[in-house]
Amino acid sequence: MNNTKPTAGKPVQITIDGKTYECPSFSGTENEKAFDIGKLRDQSGYVTFDNGYANSSPTTSSVTYLDGDNGILRYRGYPIEQLAEHASFIEVAWLLIYGELPTQNQLNQFHADLEANSVVDEKFIKLMDAFPKNAHPMAVLTAATVGLSTVYQNECDPGNKEHTEKSIRRLIGQFPSLCAAAYRHNHGDKLVPGKKGVDYCENFMHLMYSKDGSYTVPKEIVKALNLLLILHADHEQNCSTSTVRLVGSSSANLYASIAAGITALWGPLHGGANQAVMEMLEHIQKDGGDIEKTIAAAKDKNSNFRLMGFGHRVYKNFDPRAKLIKKACDNVLTSLGVKNPLLDLAKKLEEAALKDPYFVEKKLYPNVDFYSGIIYSALNIPTEMFTPMFALGRLPGWIAQWKEMVDGGTTKIGRPRQIYTGYTARNFKPVSERG
Ligand code: CMC
């Protein structure tokens, strides 16, 4: 059942300084257990400390289930493997946002709504000229996304359901054009109008590469893109999604919340890893292809280098998305007749890392970003556009999580505590008395 309330359990007893406190406990539909420490500070004077929120859940959610020990990922209960094989990205977007797979009528209507809302205001696109020619597309995309809230500033009240439905369609409808506009801006090209009556992914490729409208997108490319976007569509409370929720918890509008998610995604430890993997592989190749040297550098505690595309906070066995992408990589390159020596290099690097005790003991496996860039390259998507592609895929997940929070109406403003470690009180000295 969707949106089930957590099941109450026995209170958990915590003894601090000889005194016992009771915290309410509950479990979710997959028996994940939690206890609520919300009142613990008032009762005991203690807060909990959890670096990087590694063991904290600020919310319950019925959008996505992830079991990191067993490599399981499900959207609204459906295994990612089934969705990747049978669904379209827009079907998955609907599923994430509204909780059920769409009927044919709902799907047709959603496509029609997205098309009807796909045109980006011409004046707004001109704003992009203010950015330098080599601007990173993630910066441009962030600015453009929050900028949409200025175009629709009378229709983005998070408390108004009609505004939210419009914002959802405007965001998903216009995002492909915004990504393509950011790319084209750097190449001195103007954005072309979208193609009507075609698949979302086909339209995206048209927006990116069509010069005169005559560009035909090969079916293999549409299929590969559809797969990649589905695999990126949601991943429960990751860094960018938590950012979207945190910003949204202050009642900021959907555009502002999503723009914050885009900036969080940009970092190389999160979505920016796909660009970093490609740059790492190119560097290794230029450097003579020395895999042992790369592995040694990743293990060296005195170097800042990490094996990009490896490791995950939650997956400790394998990342099911990486498994699907690795398989797709071979298929896509073969069907498009593309040969990329970086694929062989990536496979050798993976093999070497998976045999190395350092990676085995720390349970570090290839993640979603390890092979995705090789497919994007085969689709002719340049390296600096890899992370915007991740954002295009993640958009429905961010929206679904934001909507779940806003519709639920019980989320408090996100406002963590801290343990202060600075100076204790001291008196101000005029500048003439400072040494
Ligand atoms: N290369 C070398 N060592 C690593 C790596 C790596 N890729 N990842 C983790 N470690 C080591 C780390 O140094 C630490 O060692 P020690 O316990 O001796 O200090 C141990 O493994 C645990 O790492 P952590 O940083 O505490 O783990 P985390 O859960 O905080 O970080 C991570 C997860 C994904 C940020 C990290 O594994 C990483 O930096 N990976 C490379 C970047 C990357 O591929 N990011 C994409 C993540 S998946 C998609 C997404 O989220 O967008």
pLDDT 10s digit of each residue in the chain, 435 long? Answer: 466 789 999 999 999 999 999 999 999 999 999 999 999 999 999 999 999 999 999 999 999 999 999 999 999 999 999 999 999 999 999 999 999 999 999 999 999 999 999 999 988 888 888 999 999 999 999 999 999 999 999 999 999 999 999 999 999 999 999 999 999 999 999 999 999 999 999 999 999 999 877 788 989 999 999 999 999 999 999 999 999 999 999 999 999 999 999 999 999 999 999 999 999 999 999 999 999 999 999 999 999 999 999 999 999 999 999 999 999 998 899 999 988 999 999 999 999 999 999 999 999 999 999 999 999 999 989 999 999 999 999 999 999 999 999 999 888 999 999 999 999 999 999 999 998
- Residue of 232, 235, 312, 356 with catalytic role: 312
Based on the residue annotation, tell me whether 319 is a catalytic residue of this protein: no
Chain region(s) in the chain for CATH 1.10.580.10: 76-406
Chain region(s) in the chain for CATH 2.20.28: 7-57
Closest C-alpha to ligand 1, atom 39: 269
Enclosing H/E stretch for 74: strand 72-75
Superfamily of domain 76-406: Citrate Synthase, domain 1 (1.10.580.10)
Dihedral angle of Cα 152, 154, 157, 163, to the nearest 10 degrees: -70
Q: Phi and psi dihedrals of 182, rounded to 5?
A: -65, -40
- Are 128 and 140 in contact by the 8 Å Cβ rule? The answer is yes
Based on the residue annotation, tell me whether 189 is a catalytic residue of this protein: no
With the most atoms of ligand 1 within 8 angstroms of its CB, the residue from 367, 371, 386, 387 to mutate is 367
Say if ligand 1 is within 6 A of residue 231 CB: no
Q: Phi and psi dihedrals of 7, rounded to 5?
A: -90, 130
For residue 117, what are its two tokens? 């809302």
Query: Going by CATH, does the domain composed of 7-57 fall within 2.20.28?
Result: yes
For residue 320, what are its two tokens? 């099911």
- Are 147 and 128 in contact by the 8 Å Cβ rule? The answer is no
Ligand 1 centre from 330 Cα, in Å?
Answer: 26
pTM of the model: 0.97
**Cα–Cα distance measured from residue 141 to residue 181, given in angstroms and rounded to the nearest whole number:** 9
